[in-house]
Amino acid sequence: MSDTITLPAHLETLRGRVAELVAGRSADDPTAGDPLRGLYVTAETAHRLATAPPPAPGTDVFPAEPVDAFEALALRFGLDALDRQVLLAALAPDVDRRFEPLYGYLNDDVGRRRATVALALDLAGTGPHDPLARARFHPLAPLRAGGLLTLDDEDRPLPGRAVRVPERVVAHLLGDDALDPELVDQGVELLTDDASGDPASARDAPAPAGRIAALAAAGQPLLVHLRERREGTAAAPVTDALRAAGLPVLRHRPAASTADAATVTRALVREARLRRAVLVVGPLPSEPGPLVRSLATGDVPVVFFGSEPYDSGWAPDAGLLSLDAPYDRVDPAHTWHTELSRHTTEFAPDFDLGEAVAPYRLGEEQIRRAARSAAGHAAFDGTPPTAAHLQHSARLQSAPLLDRHARRIRPAVGFGDLVLPDEPLGLLHELTLRARHRDKVLGEWRLRTGGGRGRGVIALFAGDSGTGKTLSAEVVAGELGLDLYVVDLSAVVDKYIGETEKNLERIFVEADRTDAVLLFDEADAVFGKRSEVKSSHDRYANLESAYLLQRLEAFDGIAVLTTNLRANIDDAFTRRLDLVVDFPFPDVEQRVALWRTCLAGTPCSPDLEDELSSCAQEFELAGGAIRSAAVTAAYLAAGHGGPVSGADVRAGARREYRKMGRLEPGGSLPWQ
């Protein structure tokens, strides 16, 4: 028997009860035939109402065993016999209009066509004089706490207040399972059970997602908090496991809600009960206590997640179980390929998918969004998805808050722009290799030591100013398809004790969440050597260094430290570095190559090559100074309207020598 057939049967039973009540009242009502009845009260009617005896206790008109959607709803919300009769009385006018004039008659007011508290209790065989009956309308009683019933007319006494059933409950009983309108545009998404999924895959899901799905499918009480070390590592595995187990999921993002929080959570719990769904809620706000307590009902399975550490004060009596979400990624390349295949069947043949996405530490939910975005960008360009499409979309999933603490650089250079000896060049290639394969080596192969150490890759670039340290960091970021964030030390170092550490912690926290390369330029300003404590200043300076030593141990991102004087870096920091790359001062051949690279895009005179060799021998300039000299030469050429000549290059080189206060070859001192 379908739900839409059995509900009218309940209403017919109620209509019989209404008919009995109408007959009973009209039998001794002298105004029963008065066409103006309900618009005034006569003295005779007032006397009759004042002297009438209390009604006799009623009997339960509902069967003991659940047979339809109404009874299933009553069991789901913990309603007793009286609750069910009250709910049915309140529901009747929303389903059958014949109840409206009847209720108007019984309310003795033709304008009040909904059941009042008094009328609903009269139909149930009791009355508002019964304290237990009145208690069924308490805000914490099942009817109102479950969102099944609301009371209108706040200015009236309780017996005269109209009772109303929300439209979502009416729609559910009539077979309409559209999402509650109160939850639309409030950060709530309905994910139905995966009909194509294999229930065995839910059991085989990685812990704790598989265990959560098994408990929820068995109807066990479930209230879990999953703490994420990385965004997107908790929600997607749990959601997939629940759907594979045949359970609908209500995914709620609290930050996206714009309505009153109490209204949203009340509607959310009601929707979960109506659907027998599991709530997956997160990321949790900074003060999650009220949200957790409002959703911890005991009968609705809820999975909370977020980066906030568990606090026993959130819901001290609810039995909230806190677990760590797994950090290890399960074959991200396979996940990328699966998600991309949902949107496109054609792939560019010239890139390795696994290598392109290896630097990104995205959760499954982020990969889904990035794959959809990459497919959209590729369709817009009219090409199959390429590495550039994937990397652009993946970068968009990283936390943007790092922009507040560092300057972002979108890499526009590659290894072809570097002029370095083989050894430092090889170490830079090794750095990119470490960044791509750290999850496999440190996670899957378990080569990470204990002590809470992270999976970060940290390198020190040491060398004279202008030897290519910052450029190399940009090249590494570009090779990995990541953004480069340069930390502004002037905004980090603070004269007040402890503030520098707080500023650095904000940067490290955001860097852990962001797929990017973090550059500490002139790092010896904060990573310098500890000294013997001779004053309070020394003591606090050493505390700052101790904090950095501990923080680098737990760092999960990619960081590059640069210094002009390697000896200034504390040995304890050096031990924690994965690579130390020394950038030597360029020799003559390298200086010639640097001149050629810098002037590669400019129009040059035919005799320039000999002049470049001559300048490289005469002027001992580092790569940064050569680039500045090349820019000066280009401006001079643009000024006289011709190609870059040897004279322009030599003028640029002399300008750099003067800036450095050095004696020009065959010339005078810069101040003479």
Mapping DSSP onto H, E and C, the string for 277-319 reads: CEEEECCCCCCCHHHHHHHCCCCCCEEEEECCCCCCCCCCCCC
Beta-bridge partners for 121 = none
DSSP per-residue letters across 122-149: HHTT--TT-HHHHGGGSTTSHHHHTTS-
pLDDT at 334: 81
Is residue 664 included in any domain, yes or no? no
Dihedral pair phi/psi, residue 359, rounded to 5°: -70, -15
Is residue 671 included in any domain, yes or no? no
Residues 14 and 125: their CA atoms lie apart, in Å, by 12
Contact 319, 223 (CB under 8 A): yes
What CATH number does residue 430 fall under? 3.40.50.300
CA 129 centroid distance within chain: 52
Residue 115 and residue 219 share a domain = no
Residue 18 and residue 162 share a domain = yes
pLDDT at 54: 52
Residue 351 and residue 275 share a domain = no
Indicate the residue type of 48: R
Residue 262 and residue 242 share a domain = yes
Cα separations in angstroms, 285 against 123, 280, 289, 290, 434: 46, 14, 9, 10, 35
Of the three residues 540, 564, 583, the one that is the final residue of a domain is 583
Is residue 669 included in any domain, yes or no? no
- 163 Ramachandran zone, left/alpha/beta (phi>0; psi -120 to 50): beta
Is residue 668 included in any domain, yes or no? no
Residue 114 and residue 42 share a domain = yes
Counting Cα atoms < 13 Å in the Cβ hemisphere of 556 gives 17
Residue 259 and residue 198 share a domain = yes
Q: Which of 246, 233, 237, 239 has its CA nearest to residue 205?
A: 237
Contact 243, 194 (CB under 8 A): yes
- What is the three-class DSSP state of 595? helix
Residue 360 and residue 318 share a domain = no
Residues 94 and 14: their CA atoms lie apart, in Å, by 14
Is residue 256 included in any domain, yes or no? yes
Residue ranges of the chain with per-residue pLDDT less than 50: 1-5, 55, 57-67, 669-672
Residue 94 and residue 219 share a domain = no
Note down the domain range covering 95. 3-173
Which segments of 483-558 does DSSP mark as H helices, in order?
A: 499-513, 536-553
Number of separate domains in the chain: 5
Residue 563 and residue 425 share a domain = yes
Is residue 71 included in any domain, yes or no? yes
What CATH number does residue 597 fall under? 1.10.8.60
Of the three residues 583, 618, 643, the one that is the final residue of a domain is 583
pLDDT at 397: 81
Q: Which of 632, 628, 670, 631 has its CA nearest to residue 466?
A: 628
Is residue 405 included in any domain, yes or no? no
Is residue 404 included in any domain, yes or no? no
Counting Cα atoms < 13 Å in the Cβ hemisphere of 11 gives 18
Residues 510 and 399: their CA atoms lie apart, in Å, by 7
Of the three residues 151, 173, 195, the one that is the final residue of a domain is 173
pLDDT tens by residue, 80-122? 999 999 999 999 999 888 888 888 888 888 788 899 999 999 9
Beta-bridge partners for 486 = 407, 519
Residue 421 and residue 387 share a domain = no
What CATH number does residue 297 fall under? 3.40.50
Residue 565 and residue 493 share a domain = yes
pLDDT at 627: 94
Indicate the residue type of 433: L
Residue 317 and residue 361 share a domain = no
